[in-house]
Structures are given as C-alpha cells and as structure tokens.
Chains A and B, each alone.
Chain A
Amino acid sequence: MIRILVIFLLMVTNAKPPKATEKVIARQGKVSFFSYTSVEDIKAENNQVLSVIDIDKKEIAVRMLMNAFIFEKALMREHFNESYLESDIYPKAIFEGEIVDFDPTIDGEQTRIVKGVFTMHGKSKALEIKTKIVKQDNNYMVSGVFETFVKDYDINIPPLLAGNIAKSISVEFRFEYQPYED
C-alpha cells in the first residue's frame, strides 16, 4: 500500500503540466548601478545579463556574472571583483521572483510590482521592485530602477573609503525578451 502511495506521490509531485508553459528569454539584458557621493561617482554596466520569464506562472529569474560589470575606471573593476564582491567565490548574482498581477494578455505597457529574492555575495535579500512591462507581439521589454543598500550584502568597505561608496546604490535594468525554445 505504502509503496503504491510512494509511487503515486512521486508521480504527482514530479508530473509536468500537460502543456509546455510559455517562456521568454533575454540574453543580453542590461543592468547598471550607480553610487553617487560627494567624493566620487561610481558607475558600472553589465550587458550580458540573462533573464527568463515564465509567462503562465508569472515568474521571473535573472542571472548575472559579477566580473562582467564594466566600470568607468579599469582599476575599479579589479577592486570590485577582488576586494568587494569576491567574484571568485561568488561569481554570480541571482534574482528569483514573481510578477504580481501580471497580465500577459495586455498589449502595450503595464506597471507591476516584482516580488522576489536577490542573492549576491552569498547574501539573500527580499526585494519589491516597481517594473515597467511592455508587450509587443510576443516580445516583452522589462525595465525599472530600484535602490538597494550595500550593508545588506555583507560587503566589507574599509572605513577610510566609506566616503567614496554610497550607502544606497541605485540599480537600473532593462531586459528585452524573445520567445524561448527548448
């Protein structure tokens, strides 16, 4: 009896939905961040960010490589990877979330809240991001801006440089999605 139950449970939990869910992918998403202080402005850009949206489940996932961020100053990129983000231990940052009240049937623009967890430098942080979603044919464009705090990600800033790096970092993103085929 239990054996049958086990098999049944496994079948239920592993069962794939009958219809393949519709997914869209962005392979060259842009994420940039800015830190403005009176001492120094820091700006970096990553044009190789990956993102997938499951249209039916209203889920979104983003993955970026930390060492793909390009800085205005070349030496900053070395400091960023070696001394701050430790990208040899934590090579990537990941966001998993859900687009609240996302309506894929709306053509054109809609503004929605994306709720999810952002993991960077081994630390996870729940974020709610106001996002603009534009649908055109079967392509989607998702963009937005949000603020996040350096201290949430356990990034060590030496006291002498505390004035050079803003406490709150402004992050801007823009992803253009195309239908995804397995």
Chain B
Amino acid sequence: MKIRIAFTTAMVLLTVSRSFSQDLLEILESETSKATQFIPATFKMTRITIGHSTEVRSKGILEVFVANRFWNLPVERSQSFIADRMSSRIALEYGISDNLTFGGGATTFDGLFDAHLKYRIPTKNAGVLPFRVTLFQNFSYDSSPIANQAIADDFSDRLAFTSQVLLSKKVTKDFSFQLAPTYVHKSLGTQPNDPTNFFALGVGARYKLGSHLSLVSEYYHTVNPIESFETHDPFAIGVNWELGDVLLQFMLTNAVNMVEDTFITQTRNNFNFRNPNLNFGFNATYVIHFKNKLKK
C-alpha cells in the first residue's frame, strides 16, 4: 500500500516537474545544429616546452617569439650577473592560412639561423581522427665560426633538416599528450663513422593546473645517437602561463640549443641540477592579430 502511494507520488512529481517549457527545449535539442569548425586547443601554445606542439596559429596572426636559456659554468665562484651564460632565439611566425604557418629565427649562442613550415591537417569534424596531426619541416644554417680545419664546413655541411609528424590527443579537458616521430639530417661536427641521419621519438604532455596555467614536459629519445662524443636525450619540465595575447613558458631543461636538429641530436649534458647541465628556459610569445575576423 505504502509503496503504491510512494509510486503514485513519484509519478505525479515526475510528470509535474516536466516544467512548462520542457517541450520547447526538446524541440531545440532535436534541431541538429550545424557542426562548427572550431577545434579546441590541445596545447594552446605552438611549443610544448622546447619542441613544437601540434598547434598552429590562424590566418593573419603574427607571433613574436623570444626564447631564452640561462645556465651557469661549473666553477666554484662566479661574478656574473644572474647567470654565467645566456642564449636567445628571436623568431617571427606568421599564419599564412588557418593551417599553415611559416616562421624564421636566429639564435645568439650557437649562431643558428632557422626557418620552418608547419602544416596542420585540417579536420572537418573534430573527433573523426583519433589524433590531431601536424607536419613540421625545419631548415637550419649554422653560421658559427669553426677553427678546426679538419671539420668540413661547406655551405651544404652547415645545413640541417628536421622533419616531424606531430600527433597529439586531448585525452581529457586537462590532459593532452603528443608523440613526435622525428627525422633529422645533420652532419656538421660529426666524425666519418657517425650517423648523419637520425631518428628520434619525442613525447610531450600538458596537464592543466588551472584555467590559465599548465604543467608541461617533453622528452626526445634519439634511436641512433652520435658515437664520437657523448650525447644525451633532451628533457624539459615547466609551466605554461597564458595571459591573453602574451603567452609565457618557464622551464628547466638540459637542452642548451633551441633549434630542433641541434637539441635532439647534440645535447651534450644530461638532465640534473648541477652546472652547467641545468638550464633555466624562458619563452615569451606575443600574439599580434593582423586579420580581425569580425571586421569586414
């Protein structure tokens, strides 16, 4: 009896709680809305830490990118201001189309000039592909003076090429990861028995700590490293902080160089907290919109 009354009350409540405009909302739900072209950001920044992410900037966006690395020399006492050594890479990156970016930059410490093309494979409907796919091609020219006569340093020797297929996945709203199969061709500074074509795999991830702050890390493993001198796999851990048009990245890494071909194949120190292995990295990106979508 009691059960029956409870059942009745429940049913009545259920039917009454179908609020007055429920059927209007049902109509709205049944209307198929046009799929929008918007793809949510997996990394937001065009770099995770040291390496590129699958993100590209939209058409008409210019990024002014400044990356810095600071490190100390392994000496007992130092009178340097802030850090013993510093390297800066200044670059400009421009969105030619919504999926294609061209960028170029120069680094102070190693004298590398580099240019890259980055193309994101457009996904008509986000979610069809299991991964976000971006193709990355980098060219670099090493302008540093080489005193050693034994090293071949013709123009072609000083060029290096990096090709990457960047695959990323936004697993949850907070967690994204990336795999980066990489091919590098670089011959400068190697001995005859060293490989000049390198294969590497990069792994990167982002975890959002807050709405504007995320923890990021990246690691590149070279399958066939240089044999004539000791190299280590570059590793970086840091935080990315978004401030509207300004995107800041802070990191700790063992990679001194900032161009892909060099830091992937020729990072000479392993990651630890001793000098000069530990580098403090600071990247600042300023995003300038040349094409405003709403203004005709």
Contacts and interface: CB of A to CB of B under 8 A. Distances in A.
Task: Report, nearest first, the 7 A-B pairs whose CB atoms are least far apart.
Answer: A61-B24, A74-B58, A13-B15, A72-B292, A83-B211, A63-B28, A67-B38
Interface in A83-107: 83-84, 86-89, 94, 96-97
B57 A74 contact: yes
B130 interface: no
Nearest to A160: B243
Interface residues of A, number: 57
Interface stretch (B2-10, B73-81, B153-161, B217-225): B2-10
20 contacts: A2-B4, A6-B4, A10-B15, A13-B12, A23-B27, A27-B31, A52-B27, A61-B25, A71-B294, A72-B292, A72-B293, A74-B289, A79-B244, A81-B41, A83-B211, A88-B40, A94-B28, A156-B211, A161-B243, A164-B244
Given A50-B28, A73-B293, 5 more contacts: A57-B21, A75-B57, A81-B40, A96-B21, A180-B27
Given A61-B28, A86-B173, A73 B289 contact: yes
A79 B31 contact: no
Considering residues B1, B21, B31, B210, which has the most beta carbons from chain A within 10 angstroms of its beta carbon?
B21
Nearest to A63: B28
A54 interface: yes
A79 B242 contact: yes
B147 interface: no
A95 B225 CA distance: 60
B8 A6 contact: yes
Contacts of A65: 33, 36
B16 A13 contact: yes
Interface string A1-13: 0110110011001
Interface size class of B (residues with CB under 8 A): 35 or more
A22 interface: no
B244 A161 contact: yes
B135 interface: no
Interface of B: 1, 4-5, 7-8, 11-12, 15-16, 19-21, 23-25, 27-29, 31, 33-34, 36, 38, 40-41, 44, 57-61, 173, 210-212, 242-245, 287, 289, 292-295
Contact of A72 (B11, B28, B289): B289
Nearest to A9: B12
B34 A48 contact: yes
A23 to B, nearest CB: 7
A138 interface: no
A142 interface: no
Q: Main secondary structure on chain B at its contact with chain A? A: loop
B2 to A, nearest CB: 11
A45 interface: yes
A132 B210 CA distance: 41
B18 to A, nearest CB: 8
Interface string A58-84: 011111010110111111111101111
Contacts of B245: 73, 75
A158 interface: yes
Nearest to A10: B11
B294 A54 contact: no
B12 A54 contact: no
A158 B211 CA distance: 9
* From A23, A78, A87, A94, residue with most partner B Cβ within 10 Å: A78
